[in-house]
């Protein structure tokens, strides 16, 4: 399944700018340094989208970047940034959900959760639970959203919320890193410069080292979860894990909506927003959030 012709130049440019295979801690640190300049500052995002910006910390001391419009929020979205659990910051991909904040009356809270290898998945999940608990004030519905590695963390945290009786209105999983890679897609795109199979294994090994945790893709107890949106590119190694996870949600009696964007590579909607698949992806997420708020999913 090839990358769409219009997206190929963006993927080639990405290969020149970012390390492809992360193996050692030194590789992870180099990736962080290379990726950081790609983040648009929160103040610039807020100004561009006409939103108010606030910086805060949770009761547990985790930093939050908050974007909101002028109207009272219909829902709060706790957003978990990408970076494969080893990189990124609360400014990474900040506009992925925030672009819909004014239109849908959302308050977006982007969380600075701890990263591997300095932290493990259980510590990351605790950070998310604190943010969700804080966001639930005043009875406002809370949606848990995550992109890439943050999508994998969001999937792990949504199960933890269920187990602890913390209600969520929905889950928005944007090309999530749910497992170590399975099926044909893991072989077809093992050397993908947008995020490789080797980097995936390194990231999960670092996040799970010494814990009893497993990846969300390995979980089978998927009953009792709120509506979930999932999307993924057809030309990325996470494709089959995401498709399988959606199937497992349906098999467990859950409500899930799955989009597979033909010709899209991992996170291509952030790399080239002008591409047809990128435009469609952002529109589909906005449409699902609108329907979720109206009780139509």
Largest CA distance in the chain: 48
Instruction: Dump pLDDT digits (tens) for 87-114.
Output: 999 999 999 999 999 999 999 999 999 9
Share of the chain above pLDDT 90, in %: 96
pLDDT at residue 20, as a whole number: 86
Instruction: Dump pLDDT digits (tens) for 220-276.
Output: 999 999 999 999 999 999 999 999 999 999 999 999 999 999 999 999 999 999 999
pLDDT at residue 138, as a whole number: 78
What is the pLDDT confidence band of residue 199, given thresholds at 50, 70 and 90?
A: very high
pLDDT at residue 7, as a whole number: 95
Cis peptide preceding 117, ω within 30 of 0: yes
CA 35 – CA 61 distance, rounded (Å): 25
The mean pLDDT value for 164-180 works out to 97
Question: What is the enclosing helix (H) or strand (E) of 102?
Answer: helix 101-104
CA 51 – CA 48 distance, rounded (Å): 8
Residue pair 147/177 in contact by the 8 Å Cβ criterion: no
Instruction: Dump pLDDT digits (tens) for 13-42.
Output: 999 999 989 999 999 999 999 999 999 999
Residue pair 248/278 in contact by the 8 Å Cβ criterion: no
pLDDT value at 1 more than 60: no
Can you give the residue ranges of every domain in the chain?
5-293
Average pLDDT, the chain: 96
Share of the chain above pLDDT 70, in %: 100
pLDDT at residue 139, as a whole number: 84
Class for the domain spanning 5-293:
alpha beta
Give the position of tokens 């992806």.
281
pLDDT at residue 224, as a whole number: 97
Virtual CA dihedral for 197, 200, 201, 205, nearest 10 degrees?
180
Strand partners for 231: 174, 259
CA 289 – CA 69 distance, rounded (Å): 16
pLDDT at residue 182, as a whole number: 87
For Cα atoms 24, 30, 32, give the angle at the middle one, nearest 5 degrees: 110
CA 248 to chain CA centroid, nearest Å: 19
What region, left, alpha or beta, does residue 202 occupy, with left being phi > 0 and alpha being psi -120 to 50 degrees?
Answer: alpha
């Amino acid at each position: 399944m090839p990358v769409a012709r219009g997206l190929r130049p963006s993927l080639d440019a990405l290969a020149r700018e970012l390390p492809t295979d992360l193996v050692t801690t030194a590789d992870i640190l180099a990736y962080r340094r290379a990726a950081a300049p790609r983040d648009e500052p929160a103040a610039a995002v807020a100004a561009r989208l006409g939103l108010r910006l606030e910086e805060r910390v949770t009761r547990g001391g985790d930093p939050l970047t908050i974007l909101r419009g002028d109207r009272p929020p219909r829902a709060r979205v706790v957003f978990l940034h990408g970076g494969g659990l080893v990189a990124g910051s609360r400014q990474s991909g900040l506009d992925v959900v925030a672009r819909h904040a004014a239109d849908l009356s959302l308050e977006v809270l982007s969380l600075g959760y701890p990263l591997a290898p300095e932290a493990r998945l259980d510590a990351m999940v605790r950070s998310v639970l604190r943010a969700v608990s804080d966001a639930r004030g005043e009875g406002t519905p809370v949606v848990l959203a995550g992109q890439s590695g943050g999508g994998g963390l969001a999937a792990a945290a949504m199960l933890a919320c269920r187990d602890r009786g913390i209600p969520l209105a929905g889950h928005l999983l944007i090309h999530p890193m749910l497992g170590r890679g399975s099926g044909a897609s893991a072989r077809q795109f093992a050397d993908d410069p947008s995020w490789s199979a080797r980097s995936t294994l390194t990231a999960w090994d670092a996040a799970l080292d010494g814990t009893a945790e497993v990846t969300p893709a390995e979980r089978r107890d998927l009953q009792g979860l709120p509506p979930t949106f999932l999307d993924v590119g057809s030309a990325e190694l996470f494709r089959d894990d995401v498709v399988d996870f959606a199937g497992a949600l349906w098999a467990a009696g859950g409500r899930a909506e799955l989009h597979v964007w033909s010709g899209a590579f991992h996170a291509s909607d952030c790399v080239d927003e002008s591409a047809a698949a990128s435009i469609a992806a952002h529109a589909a997420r906005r449409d699902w959030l609108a329907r979720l708020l109206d009780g139509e999913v």
